[in-house]
Structure 1
């Protein structure tokens, strides 16, 4: 198969962009042991949607309104378990929170 210079340059440009993106993702992971407590658990969208029994869109709305703390690693959204506990505590009445805590055993699993 023959590749002319123009196609080769396009492929190399795509490769360079992808490597840059991967490099940025790796930089975001450096020193994460200093950021997170060793007992801290992270949840992704799927985990949290299942836990809270809400849709991905609902989580997106909460993030957009800045009422649900989150962070990105690469393009993936993560949530700290301690932030989720605080979120539920602040946004649910006491009885609902206690039911949620009991059902999900927050103190032991998150």
Structure 2
């Protein structure tokens, strides 16, 4: 089972906190939970100002696709996208079965 959402602070599904240092704006996250309810992996998809997960899909190979919005610069596995102009921008990321962002 996959879950995605946004939280301001304090969210930990079992692999450490999924939100940034600031509790004043949301950070998007995605997680995979096993059939037994055990936490398998979780990742943060963070905007320098804010990010929100809006939609989640999973393909037949077990890749998760998360779409959402961000302001500032989006930080996803070392890639930085966007601009610090404060405009709301949109993203789609694909996470492999192991939770690594592949695009």
TM-score (norm 2): 0.22
Name whichever structure is richer in helix by fraction: 1
TM-score (norm 1): 0.22
Instruction: Select the structure with the greater relative contact order (CA < 8 A; seq sep ≥ 6).
Output: 1
Name whichever structure is richer in strand by fraction: 2
